[in-house]
A and B are shown apart, each in its own frame.
Chain A
Amino acid sequence: DAMVIQNPRYQVTQFGKPVTLSCSQTLNHNVMYWYQQKSSQAPKLLFHYYDKDFNNEADTPDNFQSRRPNTSFCFLDIRSPGLGDAAMYLCATSIEVSGANVLTFGAGSRLTVL
């Protein structure tokens, strides 16, 4: 089945220790997104790629970086995680960025910072 797969599902790290989260998709979608979601809050868009074009949200901290080496894969790097970065990180894909832009989400990566 075509899908969006995130690894790892659960990540525990220490304060300041870099973390990389991965996302892969078999949908061949043009657009890939990274969202941060804290408990009982709205998902917060960190950045998205349209093909290889990178779009960073204005309020995304520099501590968060991303790479998309090819259509299928996208990575989220958190260079120096702080306690406030503990959250669920959601990867999503869509065919386009306009119109009925339905997002398909991965299962998420839950990050715990000790």
Chain B
Amino acid sequence: GQNIDQPTEMTATEGAIVQINCTYQTSGFNGLFWYQQHAGEAPTFLSYNVLDGLEEKGRFSSFLSRSKGYSYLLLKELQMKDSASYLCAPQDSNYQLIWGAGTKLIIKP
């Protein structure tokens, strides 16, 4: 079966760095997405990785290891507005997104 595993909840301090891990098992693989979802709102696109390695985009970076079925999202210089859920979503061989339940990130002052 297809499975996504990411922590349910994490807490971090404003200004710090946090890493949100995601492990996945899918039928084939065609890249992995990270989306941010604020409470009561729709998901918004953060990043896409299809090759191994680190993709950096401002304060956010995303890493992929296809051989390990592993990705992480790294958030630097945390701000209060980063409090949200972060959803990991790999694409399977049919280009169907397999969504994780998300990691709720709580930022404390």
By a beta-carbon cutoff of 8 Å, the part of chain A in contact with chain B is 40-45, 88, 90, 92, 97-108, 110
Contact, CB under 8 Å: A42 / B30 = no
Complex CA–CA separation, A26 to B95 (angstroms) = 24
Given A92-B42, A100-B50, A110-B40, 14 extra CB contacts under 8 A = A40-B104, A42-B87, A43-B43, A45-B96, A90-B43, A97-B95, A98-B30, A98-B95, A99-B31, A100-B31, A102-B33, A103-B43, A105-B42, A107-B42
Which listed residue (B43, B50, B96, B101) contacts A105, Cβ 8 A? B43
Contact, CB under 8 Å: A90 / B97 = no
Please give the distance in Å from A104's CB to the nearest CB on chain B: 8
Which listed residue (A97, A100, A108, A110) contacts B48, Cβ 8 A? A100
Contact, CB under 8 Å: B102 / A102 = no
Contact, CB under 8 Å: A106 / B48 = no
Quick one: closest B residue to A33, CB to CB?
A: B97
Contact residues in B for A106 (Cβ distance below 8 Å):
42
Contact, CB under 8 Å: A108 / B41 = yes
Contacts A/B (CB < 8 Å), 24 sampled: A40-B101, A40-B102, A42-B87, A42-B99, A42-B100, A42-B101, A42-B102, A43-B43, A43-B87, A43-B99, A45-B97, A88-B40, A90-B42, A90-B43, A98-B95, A99-B30, A99-B31, A101-B91, A101-B95, A102-B48, A103-B35, A104-B45, A108-B41, A110-B40
Query: In which size bucket is the chain B interface?
Result: 20 to 34
- Kindly state whether residue B13 has any CB partner on chain A within 8 Å: no
Quick one: closest B residue to A104, CB to CB?
A: B45
